[in-house]
Amino acid sequence: MSDAPRILLIGSDGQVGWELRRTLAPVGQVIAASLAGEHGPAIDLVDAGSVRRVFNEVAPDAVVNAAAYTAVDKAESDPEQAQAINGDALHLIGELAATYRIPVLHYSTDFVFSGQTERPYREDDAPQPLSVYGQTKLDGEQALLASGADALVLRTAWVYGVRGRNFLLTMLNLFRERTELRIVDDQIGTPTWSRMLAEVTALILHRVFTGDLEMERIRGLYHVTSSGATSWFGFAEAIRDLSGNPCALTPIPTSDYPAPARRPAYSVLDTRKFRDTFGLLLPDWRQSLALCLADLKG
């Protein structure tokens, strides 16, 4: 095990981080850093000293950053903290990864786009965030890509899974409490399983470690989601039907569901660059949802 590459996983307690702790295990020695420091070193992305210290002590061969400020509505009234975690910390992680000459994998979001389009967004489409969360994530991805580090930024969307705060678990909880729910039907995107993201991350990192993929050639920005698209209402309907719940669902416009943060009306991501570069398949969102629900049933 001592010869295994050392992977510093930041944010190992989040929904994607929790999956990564498992899928990265066959790829290298995972050093699972998190705010609480429960399974490895404590790290606080707001505290530059703690980030530098963890990099120094761990001396990683690669970094995967799954930590973020993801409370989209809360970020509107807490922009400094969101910027510190989603933006400023990536300037530092980029600087450290460039200094140590190690690859860094990071995640960003469909919320960097305004949603004023009718075709899936490509990596070279101009971002125009509508929210503090989207703006701070954009700053983070741009800082990392400009840092000189061998960085891969995987932009994804509508992430759900068996753990953490996500739309799937919110719906399953609400189905137990309510007989009717009103769900927005005019925001279109692609639900993406956290495990699928963790698995493609592990497959890529493995090929980087074996020399099969050269970071200098593949570094950059990629869109990675499941295939297909739906609205939050469509996603809720699929969750209800696949889980066998009787809850009545009513489609509503976004204007009937007031929230502090504006969200893009259409944020489907074009994943062609990712599929062509890595030769990986991205399953249909319904297929992944069925597998995830089967996991939840146990």
Give me the least distance between CB of 80 and ligand TDO, in Å please. Answer: 18
Helical residues (DSSP H) of the chain, grouped into ranges: 15-23, 48-58, 72-75, 79-83, 89-100, 132-146, 167-177, 194-210, 215-218, 232-243, 272-278, 285-297
133 is catalytic: yes
d(CA 184, CA 234): 9
The sign one gets for the Cα dihedral 226, 231, 232, 238 is negative
Site pattern 230..249 for ligand TDO (x: CB under 6 A):
--x-----------------
Using the rule CB under 6 A, which residue among 35, 75, 145, 184 binds ligand NDP?
35
- Of the candidate spans 32-40, 90-98, 109-117, 209-217, the one that interacts with ligand TDO by CB under 6 A turns out to be 109-117
Please say which residue, 13 or 237, places its beta carbon nearer to ligand NDP.
Answer: 13
Please say which residue, 4 or 169, places its beta carbon nearer to ligand NDP.
Answer: 169
**Sequence-ordered strand ranges (E) for 104-206:** 104-109, 151-156, 159-160, 180-184, 188-189, 192-193
Residue type, 275: R
Q: Which value, in Å, is the radius of gyration of the alpha carbons in the chain?
A: 19
Q: Which does 35 bind (CB under 5 to 8 A by kind): ligand NDP, ligand TDO, none?
A: ligand NDP
Pair type for strands 29-33 and 6-10: parallel
Of the residues 69, 121, 133, 160, only one is catalytic, namely 133
Q: Under the criterion CB under 6 A, does residue 285 sit at the interface with ligand TDO? A: no
- Output phi, psi for 186, to 5 deg: -120, 25
Residue type, 224: V
Q: Select the residue whose beta carbon is closest to ligand NDP and give its number.
A: 14
**Sequence-ordered strand ranges (E) for 22-81:** 29-33, 62-65
Please say which residue, 109 or 150, places its beta carbon nearer to ligand NDP.
Answer: 109
- Of the candidate spans 65-73, 172-180, 257-265, 289-297, the one that interacts with ligand NDP by CB under 6 A turns out to be 65-73
Residues engaged in binding ligand NDP (CB under 6 A):
11, 13-17, 35, 43-46, 66-70, 85, 107, 109, 137, 156-159, 164
Which sequence positions are flagged as catalytic?
Answer: 133
